[in-house]
Amino acid sequence: MLREVAVVGLGCTGCRPTTPGLSYKEIMFEAATRAFEDAGVDPRCDIDNFITCAEDYWEGFSIFDEFVPDQLGAVLRQLFTVTADGLFGLATAYMLIRTGEFDTVAVEAHSKASDILTFADIVAFALDPIFNRPLGGHPFYIAGLEMNRYLHETGASREACAHVVAKNRKNALSNAYAAHGANITVEDVLESEQLFYPLSRLDISPLADGCMVLVLASDKVAGKLTDTPIWVRGVGWNSDTPWLETRDWGRSVDTELAAKMAYKVAGIRNPQKEIDLAEIDDRFSYKELQNLEALQLCRRGEAGKLTEEGATERDGSIPINPSGGLLGVGYTLEASGLQKALEIVLQLRGEAGKRQVPDAETGLAQVWRGIPTASGAVAILSNRSRGAT
Amino acid sequence: MSAKIKKYAGERIKTADLRAGKVPVVRWRPKVRYAWSTGIAMSRFLKELKNGKIIARKCHKCNRIVVPPRMYCEMCFRPTDEWVYVKDSGIINTYSISYLAADATRTDKPTVVAVIEIDGASKGIGIVHIIGEAKPKDVTFGMKVKAVWKPPKERTGAITDIKYFKPVEV
Ligand SMILES: [Zn+2]
- B45 Cα to chain A: minimum distance (Å): 13
Ion ligand 1: residues, CB < 5 A: B 59, 61-62, 73, 76
User: Is residue B62 less than 8 Å (CB to CB) from chain A?
Assistant: no
Judging contacts by C-beta atoms under 8 Å, the chain A residues touching residue B72 are: 26, 29, 70-71
pLDDT at A279: 98
Mean pLDDT, residues A70-78: 97
**B 8-27 residues with CB < 8 A to A:** 26
Whether A4 contacts A219, CB under 8 Å: yes
Cα gap A257→A248, rounded to integer Å: 13
Calculate how far, in angstroms, residue B66's C-alpha sits from the geometric centre of ligand 1: 9
Please indicate, yes or no, if residue B15 is contained in any of the structural domains: no
Q: Which pLDDT band holds residue A1 (cuts at 50, 70, 90)?
A: low
Reported as half-sphere exposure (CB side, CA atoms, 13 A), residue A143 has a value of 26
pLDDT, one tens digit per residue, over B65-116 is: 999 999 999 999 999 999 999 999 999 999 999 999 888 899 888 999 999 9
pLDDT at A2: 77
pLDDT, one tens digit per residue, over A131-186 is: 999 999 999 999 999 999 999 999 999 999 999 999 999 999 999 999 999 999 99
Calculate how far, in angstroms, residue B79's C-alpha sits from the geometric centre of ligand 1: 8
pLDDT at A313 over 60: yes
Chain B's closest residue to A42, CA to CA, is: B77
Q: Which pLDDT band holds residue B170 (cuts at 50, 70, 90)?
A: low
pLDDT at A388 over 80: no
Please indicate, yes or no, if residue B53 is contained in any of the structural domains: yes
Mean pLDDT, residues A230-240: 98
User: Is residue B42 less than 8 Å (CB to CB) from chain A?
Assistant: yes
pLDDT at A387 over 90: no
Model's pTM, two decimal places? Answer: 0.96
Mean pLDDT, residues A238-245: 96
Cα gap B72→B86, rounded to integer Å: 18
What are A216's strand-pairing partners? A7, A105
Among B35, B39, B77, beta carbon nearest to A73: B77
Are A5-117+208-225 and A137-207+230-388 the same fold in CATH? Answer: yes
Chain A's closest residue to B77, CA to CA, is: A73
Class for the domain spanning A5-117+208-225? alpha beta
Cα gap A182→B24, rounded to integer Å: 52
- B75 Cα to chain A: minimum distance (Å): 7
pLDDT at B12 over 60: yes
Calculate how far, in angstroms, residue A252's C-alpha sits from the geometric centre of ligand 1: 49
What are B167's strand-pairing partners? B145
pLDDT at A233 over 80: yes
Please indicate, yes or no, if residue B98 is contained in any of the structural domains: yes
Whether A210 contacts A15, CB under 8 Å: yes
> Residue B18, Cβ neighbours under 10 Å: how many?
11
The mean-pLDDT minimum among A284-293, A351-360, A380-389, B26-35 falls in A380-389
Class for the domain spanning A137-207+230-388? alpha beta
Judging contacts by C-beta atoms under 8 Å, the chain A residues touching residue B29 are: none
pLDDT at A71 over 70: yes
Supply the range of the domain harboring residue B74.
Answer: 40-167
Mean pLDDT, residues A121-139: 95
- Alpha helices, DSSP H only, in chain A? 24-39, 56-59, 69-72, 86-98, 119-124, 141-154, 158-171, 186-191, 219-225, 253-266, 271-274, 285-294, 303-309, 325-329, 336-349
Chain A's closest residue to B38, CA to CA, is: A23
> DSSP letter string over chain B?
--SS-S--S-----HHHHHTT-S----------B----HHHHHHHHHHHHTT-EEEEE-TTT--EESS--SEETTTTEE--EEEEE-SEEEEEEEEEEEE-TTS-EEEEEEEEEEEEEBTBPTT-EEEEEE-SS-GGG--TT-EEEEEEPPGGG--SSGGGEEEEEE---
Domains of chain A, by residue range, sit at: 5-117+208-225, 137-207+230-388
> Residue A135, Cβ neighbours under 10 Å: how many?
10
- A216 Cα to chain B: minimum distance (Å): 19
Q: Please count the residue pairs, one from chain A and one from chain B, whose beta carbons lie less than 8 angstroms apart.
A: 76
Please indicate, yes or no, if residue B20 is contained in any of the structural domains: no
Among A19, A117, A129, beta carbon nearest to B28: A129
Whether B74 contacts B104, CB under 8 Å: no
pLDDT at A220: 95
pLDDT at A280 over 70: yes
pLDDT at B156: 97
Whether A280 contacts A295, CB under 8 Å: yes
- A145 Cα to chain B: minimum distance (Å): 24
- B106 Cα to chain A: minimum distance (Å): 25
Q: Across chain A, what does the average pLDDT equal?
A: 97
pLDDT, one tens digit per residue, over B43-64 is: 999 999 999 999 999 999 999 9
Whether A178 contacts A330, CB under 8 Å: yes
Calculate how far, in angstroms, residue A20's C-alpha sits from the geometric centre of ligand 1: 26
For residue A31, which phi and psi values (nearest 5 degrees)? Answer: -65, -40
Q: Across chain B, what does the average pLDDT equal?
A: 95
Q: Which of A330, A327, A340, A296 is nearest to A199 (CA)?
A: A327
- A280 Cα to chain B: minimum distance (Å): 30
pLDDT at B11: 85
Q: Which pLDDT band holds residue A98 (cuts at 50, 70, 90)?
A: very high
- Alpha helices, DSSP H only, in A211-252? 219-225
Please indicate, yes or no, if residue B158 is contained in any of the structural domains: yes
Mean pLDDT, residues A316-325: 98
User: Is residue B36 less than 8 Å (CB to CB) from chain A?
Assistant: yes
Do A122 and B30 count as a contact with CB atoms less than 8 A apart? Answer: yes
pLDDT, one tens digit per residue, over A45-60 is: 999 999 999 999 999 9
pLDDT at A255 over 90: yes
pLDDT at B68: 96
Task: Spell out the residues 6+ positions from residue A246 whose beta carbon is closer than 8 angstroms to its own.
Answer: none
Do B39 and A23 count as a contact with CB atoms less than 8 A apart? Answer: yes
Cα gap A125→A321, rounded to integer Å: 30
Q: Which pLDDT band holds residue B10 (cuts at 50, 70, 90)?
A: confident
Do A26 and B33 count as a contact with CB atoms less than 8 A apart? Answer: no
Mean pLDDT, residues B4-33: 91
Q: Which pLDDT band holds residue A328 (cuts at 50, 70, 90)?
A: very high
pLDDT at A389 over 60: no
Number of structural domains chain B divides into: 1
